[in-house]
C-alpha cells in the first residue's frame, strides 16, 4: 500500500508539470500567463547534491544545481512491503538559462526501502517558498528528475499542495500546515 502511495505521489508530481510543459507551458486549460515560471529538471546525483539540464517556459534550456539538507528528525514507518522514512528538509535549486533563478524551498524528503532490501528504491523532496514550489525525485540508478514552478497557474499549484498535504498525512506528519 505505501509503495503504491509513494509511486502515485511521485508519478503525479512528475506528470502534472509534464502535462503543462507538453503544451509549451501556456495551454489555456492550465491557465499559464507570461509571468509564470516552469522548469523541468533532469540530471544525476542524489537529493543531497544533483546537477543537470533544464527545459523551461521562461528560461529556455540551461542547467540546474540542487542541494537538499535534512533539518529535523525522520519519522519512519515500516509496512509489509517496506519502510518509508520522511524528514523535514530544505532545498536550494539554482536554475541557469537566459537568466538565473534560485529557489529556496522548505518541505520534506522521503526515502522508500522495499522489504528485503538494504538500499533505497528512491527518494523524493518536495517543498515550497512564498512564491515557488518544486520537487526532486531520485531513482536508485542515480538519475534525478524534478520541476520548479511559480506564477499564476493556480490549478497546478493547488494540485501540488493537495499532493503535499496527502503525502504528509500518509507519513504521519501534519506539521507542515
Q: Report the predicted TM-score, pTM, of the whole model to 2 decimal places.
A: 0.69
Residue 81 near residue 59, CB atoms below 8 Å: no
Q: Is the dihedral of CA 4, 162, 85, 53 positive or negative?
A: positive
DSSP string, the chain: -HHHHHHHHHHHHHHHHHHHHTTTT--TTTT--TT-EEEEEEEEE-SSSEEEEEEETTTEEEEEEEEEEE-S--EEEEETTEEEEEEEEEEEEEEESSSEEEEEEEEEEEEEEETT-SS-SEEEEEEE-SSEEEEEEEETTSEEEEEEEESS-HHHHHHHHHHHHHHHHHTT--TT-
The set of cell numbers assigned to 34 is 507570461
pLDDT, position 27? 35
pLDDT, position 171? 52
Per-residue pLDDT of the chain (177 residues; tens, 9 = 90+): 444 444 434 444 444 444 444 334 433 333 334 457 889 999 999 999 999 999 998 899 999 999 999 999 999 999 999 999 999 999 999 999 999 999 999 999 999 999 998 888 889 999 999 989 999 999 989 999 999 988 755 665 566 667 666 665 555 554 443
pLDDT, position 160? 64
- Residue that the C-alpha cell 519502510 belongs to: 83
HSE, side-chain direction, 13 A CA sphere, residue 90: 6
Amino acid at each position: 500500500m505505501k509503495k503504491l502511495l509513494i509511486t502515485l505521489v511521485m508519478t503525479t508530481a512528475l506528470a502534472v508539470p509534464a502535462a503543462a510543459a507538453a503544451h509549451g507551458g501556456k495551454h489555456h486549460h492550465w491557465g499559464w500567463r507570461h509571468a509564470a515560471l516552469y522548469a523541468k529538471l533532469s540530471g544525476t546525483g542524489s537529493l543531497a547534491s544533483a546537477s543537470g539540464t533544464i527545459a523551461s517556459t521562461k528560461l529556455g534550456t540551461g542547467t540546474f544545481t540542487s542541494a537538499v539538507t535534512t533539518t529535523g528528525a525522520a519519522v519512519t514507518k515500516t509496512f509489509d512491503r517496506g519502510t518509508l522514512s520522511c524528514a523535514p528538509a530544505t532545498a536550494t535549486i539554482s536554475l541557469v538559462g537566459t537568466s538565473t533563478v534560485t529557489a529556496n524551498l522548505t518541505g520534506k524528503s522521503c526515502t522508500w526501502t522495499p522489504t528485503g532490501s538494504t538500499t533505497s528504491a528512491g527518494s523524493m523532496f518536495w517543498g515550497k517558498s512564498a512564491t515557488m514550489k518544486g520537487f526532486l525525485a531520485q531513482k536508485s540508478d542515480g538519475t534525478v528528475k524534478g520541476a520548479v514552478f511559480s506564477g499564476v497557474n493556480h490549478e497546478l499549484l493547488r494540485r501540488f499542495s493537495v499532493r503535499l498535504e496527502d503525502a504528509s498525512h500518509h507519513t504521519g506528519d501534519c506539521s507542515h500546515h
